[in-house]
């Protein structure tokens, strides 16, 4: 994984620039499209070969066989039980397909892809020397990033996040206007020279990961590094809308995806939480989410925090994975510094799924018995 060139005033955690002195100001600049965010926790994988798209289509959740040069999408790799194993942003430049993954997932994803090549004309290479910068479209950062982006085949490698628009073959569980409707997120892939030139540009404005994450959480946008665990189904985080094609051919985990979507309900659901900011306590990922028992005698744990942030307008916010049985209403988040009240906003409703119009059959045990031929005598 490439380390982004040093930026003046940057406060970093390993390879990740957390902020540059004022996370709230940086957040506003990023949202306006005026700032770039160095994404040191992303890694790039390049797929080459004439069969790369049809091969990728056959083994992942997304329909990418006809992806055109300059187009973007995202995909999931599922296990045989339909649980999410890997996630990647996808961009094709006409000669190579570029995957952008969370850094901790990139090597395992590349290794799995390598094992799946068999005789296909495909090569899988982790491009650890490349960097990634994020930005919002519509401002000065867009032109700066697109001019600096890698373009080995004449097309700038700039991924456009499809979130939250429902992609062909996708499905949305949330009803009403989505808070991510204005989430115009892009990521540019940079080589070492262009990243260094951007870092040295005195006119470039920068924002850290705290700013980028706050805007992601406010848009209800799931991420592998935060919302995925060993039990995750794509339905639970509303990923069906952008990363799953429900009508394409078979792939690993497809049977579970179809069964839950058409006939069942996901066992868990993602929710947005607006946290009480009076105590200035921001819960860490993993913090338990509780609800008072019906008789008022105690508390039940109904889920956990996956992401939390301080938004420049909304204040402290979080995403949480909850049990489907969790009630719709106010919750409590438990932290080492005390309990934090949380107002819940439903993203995936408890009745998500079961969309197929299947006629209900009478159970065999309730069918009337056949007439006895002797009665006609």
Quote the pLDDT of residue 249: 85
Count CB-CB contacts under 10 A for residue 21: 11
Quote the pLDDT of residue 279: 72
Quote the pLDDT of residue 297: 64
Alpha-carbon distance of 251 to 79, in angstroms, equals 10
> Cβ contacts of residue 176 below 8 Å, gap of 6+?
none
Average pLDDT over residues 137-153: 97
Looking at the predicted structure, is the pLDDT value of residue 371 above 70? no
Average pLDDT over residues 166-193: 95
Model confidence pLDDT, tens digit, residues 237-275: 999 999 999 999 899 999 999 999 999 999 999 999 999
Give per-residue burial for 226-253: e unless 16+ CB within 10 Å, then b. bbbeeebbbbbbbbbbbbbbbebeebbb
Per the model's pLDDT, the better-predicted residue between 239 and 354 turns out to be 239
> Cβ contacts of residue 42 below 8 Å, gap of 6+?
100, 101, 102, 103, 106, 132, 187
For a pLDDT cut of 90, what percent of the chain falls above it? 87
Looking at the predicted structure, is the pLDDT value of residue 295 above 70? no
What are the chain's domains? 11-234 (3.30.1360.120), 267-353 (2.40.30.110)
CB 71 within 8 A of CB 152: no
Name the nearest CA neighbour of 36 among 70, 71, 5, 75: 5
Quote the pLDDT of residue 306: 98
Average pLDDT value over all residues in the chain: 93
CB 223 within 8 A of CB 65: no
Quote the pLDDT of residue 281: 87
Name the packing angle between helices 192-200 and 140-148 (round to 10°).
Answer: 150
Identify the band that residue 367 occupies on the pLDDT scale cut at 50, 70 and 90.
very low
Identify the band that residue 359 occupies on the pLDDT scale cut at 50, 70 and 90.
low
Model confidence pLDDT, tens digit, residues 77-110: 999 999 999 999 999 999 999 999 999 999 999 9
Q: Token pair for residue 192?
A: 């070492």
Looking at the predicted structure, is the pLDDT value of residue 349 above 80? yes
Model confidence pLDDT, tens digit, residues 6-29: 999 999 999 999 999 999 999 999
Q: Token pair for residue 123?
A: 């090569």
Q: Could you give the residue ranges of the DSSP H alpha helices within 169-315?
A: 192-200, 209-218, 224-227, 240-243, 254-263
CB 331 within 8 A of CB 298: no
Q: Are strands 35-38 and 205-206 parallel, antiparallel or unpaired?
A: parallel
CB 69 within 8 A of CB 155: yes
Identify the band that residue 355 occupies on the pLDDT scale cut at 50, 70 and 90.
confident
Show the CA angle centred on residue 33, arms to residues 35 and 13, nearest 5°. 35
């Amino acid at each position: 994984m490439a380390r982004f060139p040093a930026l003046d005033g940057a406060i970093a955690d390993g390879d990740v620039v957390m902020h540059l002195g004022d996370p709230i100001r940086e957040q506003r600049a990023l949202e306006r499209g005026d700032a770039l965010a160095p994404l040191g926790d992303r890694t790039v994988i390049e797929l080459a070969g004439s069969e790369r798209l049809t091969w990728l289509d056959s083994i992942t959740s997304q329909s990418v066989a006809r992806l055109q040069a300059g187009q973007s999408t995202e995909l999931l790799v599922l296990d045989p039980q339909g649980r999410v194993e890997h996630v990647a942003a996808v961009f094709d430049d006409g000669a190579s397909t570029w995957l952008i993954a969370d850094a901790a997932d990139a090597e395992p994803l590349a290794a799995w892809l390598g094992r799946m090549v068999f005789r296909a004309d495909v090569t899988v290479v982790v491009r650890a020397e490349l960097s990634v910068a994020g930005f919002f479209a519509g401002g000065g950062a867009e032109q700066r990033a697109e001019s600096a982006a890698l373009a080995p085949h004449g097309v700038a490698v700039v991924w456009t996040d499809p979130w939250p628009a429902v992609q062909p073959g996708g499905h949305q569980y949330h009803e009403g206007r989505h808070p991510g409707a204005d989430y115009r997120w892009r990521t540019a892939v940079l080589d070492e020279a262009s990243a260094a030139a951007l870092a040295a540009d005195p006119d470039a404005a920068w924002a850290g990961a705290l700013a980028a994450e706050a805007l992601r959480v406010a848009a209800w946008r799931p991420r592998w590094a935060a919302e995925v665990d060993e039990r995750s189904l794509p339905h639970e985080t509303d990923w069906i809308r952008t990363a799953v094609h429900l009508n394409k051919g078979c792939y690993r985990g497809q049977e579970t995806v179809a069964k839950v979507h058409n006939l069942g309900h996901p066992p868990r659901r993602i929710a947005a939480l607006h946290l009480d900011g009076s105590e200035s306590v921001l819960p860490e990922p993993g913090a338990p989410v509780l609800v008072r028992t019906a008789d008022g005698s105690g508390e039940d744990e109904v889920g956990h925090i996956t992401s939390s942030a301080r938004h420049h307008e909304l204040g402290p916010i979080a995403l949480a994975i909850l049990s489907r049985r969790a009630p719709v209403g106010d919750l409590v988040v438990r932290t080492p510094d005390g309990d934090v009240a949380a107002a819940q906003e439903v993203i995936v409703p408890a009745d998500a799924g079961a969309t197929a119009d299947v006629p209900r059959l009478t159970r065999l045990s309730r069918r009337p018995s056949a007439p006895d031929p002797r009665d006609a005598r």
